Amino acid sequence: MPTISLEGVFKNYGSDSNAVEKLDLTINDGDFMCLLGPSGCGKTTTVRMIAGLENITDGRVTIGDTVVDEPMTQQFVAPEKRDIGLVFQSYALWPHLTVAENVEYGLKLRKMPKAERTSQVEKMTKTLGIGQYRDRYPSQLSGGQQQRVALARMLAVSPKLMLLDEPLSNLDSRLRLEMRAELKRIHEEFKATVVFVTHDQWEAMTLATRVAVMNEGVLQQVGSPMDIYDRPVNRFVASFLGVPPMNFIEMDESTPQRSAAGRFLERRVAQPAQVGSMGIRPEAIAVEAPDLGRAAGDLVFPGRIVSIMPTGGSWTVEVTVGGQRMYATTLQRGHWQTGDEVELVTAADHVHVFDLENNRIEV
């Protein structure tokens, strides 16, 4: 099965900034690679370049042993010759074909015998929960139903390489969850390679074997979901993953939390003057009554509770620490009330440290 490799890839649509810049990314055989990043960061452009729907401006794209796009040598393999299953945000279903005919389309092209086609269409439409719409036309379906038809049509031909651009964006949260589980199962069963575009960090964390985080056309970090979450290479990645987001403590003179943080840095960092900020995830913070005994090395920030918000299975506690807001997530609400004086306590091992350029410093 093919490995996809992008080497030094640039894409410029003709403006003064690049949509994708100097992208080096390898997607291994069997990966479920999520491209994650905010709107406009270049995710869609990247999958479209892999698919061959956009030419690259510079660099090289290889699928398996074949160079599929390299401006320097004028090599370009047309999209339909790349043998890729595609589902994009706009579903591009055939409007004049019914759901069943849309799903069957690729199988006909592959000259699968009629009986096999019929059973495959039945299986796929059932798997994606659209069996009851088999005889409808796309215009008679909701956006979410069309999205599932597009998925069924792609999956019917069992592609070894699938490119999916926000394929679940129009589904409600329950269906989205079901479809995610289904995609994960299909990925494992087909042993396919998947490139999946999303701006939803939760979706990326739950689906991916590896995540590539992008910002403003530039790849920030590639790694397993937990690796990226636990060891973000810079502040952008640290803040993009996690809800509520990581708390940052700026190391400038005006920061009220600075004294506790400063003492911590003196102990743990070789050159404290190089530190620009510290980050602590809300779930790494315990909300405690003031003046309890503390483990040596814990960081303690005294503050006052501003709000306590339920988030289903947990609570988000918002605390002002000398005028700045910090968030802590707890499983139990406890006896806390708005206005209570508390201490936010975190173990030293849970602190992320960033330099003046916002890059990670190991501590």
Contacts with ligand ATP by CB under 6 A lie at: 13, 19, 37, 39-45, 199
Output 55 or 307, the one with its CB closest to ligand ATP: 55
Query: Considering the complex, what minimum distance in angstroms separates the CB of residue 221 from ligand ATP?
Result: 16
Distance separating alpha carbons of residues 298 and 269, to the nearest angstrom: 15
Output 55 or 259, the one with its CB closest to ligand ATP: 55
Distance separating alpha carbons of residues 319 and 234, to the nearest angstrom: 25
What's the burial of 27, exposed, middle or buried (CB within 10 Å: 0-12/13-18/19+)?
buried
| Closest by CA position to 135, among listed 108, 162, 103, 111 | 103
* Beta-ladder partners of 210: 33
Query: Considering the complex, what minimum distance in angstroms separates the CB of residue 79 from ligand ATP?
Result: 16
Output 13 or 202, the one with its CB closest to ligand ATP: 13
Output 57 or 98, the one with its CB closest to ligand ATP: 57
| Closest by CA position to 18, among listed 44, 50, 41 | 41
Q: How far is CA 230 from the centre of its chain?
A: 15
Output 13 or 94, the one with its CB closest to ligand ATP: 13
DSSP conformation class of 209: S
Distance separating alpha carbons of residues 86 and 82, to the nearest angstrom: 11
Output 35 or 100, the one with its CB closest to ligand ATP: 35
- 99-109 and 114-127 are packed helices; what angle lies between their axes, rounded to 10 degrees? 130
Output 44 or 125, the one with its CB closest to ligand ATP: 44
* DSSP character string of 82-138: S--EEE-SS----TTS-HHHHHHHHHHHTT--HHHHHHHHHHHHHHTT-GGGTTS-G
The two counts, helices (H) then strands (E), for the chain are 9, 20
Are residues 196 and 33 in contact, defined by beta-carbon separation less than 8 angstroms?
yes
Output 19 or 23, the one with its CB closest to ligand ATP: 19
Output 201 or 247, the one with its CB closest to ligand ATP: 201
* Beta-ladder partners of 280: 247, 351
Q: Which amino acid is at 263?
A: R
Distance separating alpha carbons of residues 95 and 102, to the nearest angstrom: 9
What the block records as the tokens of 302 is 């005294």
Output 212 or 317, the one with its CB closest to ligand ATP: 212
Query: Considering the complex, what minimum distance in angstroms separates the CB of residue 355 from ligand ATP?
Result: 27
N-term to C-term CA, the chain: 40
Q: Please give the helix or strand (H or E) that residue 19 lies within, else none.
A: none
Query: Considering the complex, what minimum distance in angstroms separates the CB of residue 201 from ligand ATP?
Result: 13
- Three-state SS at 225: helix
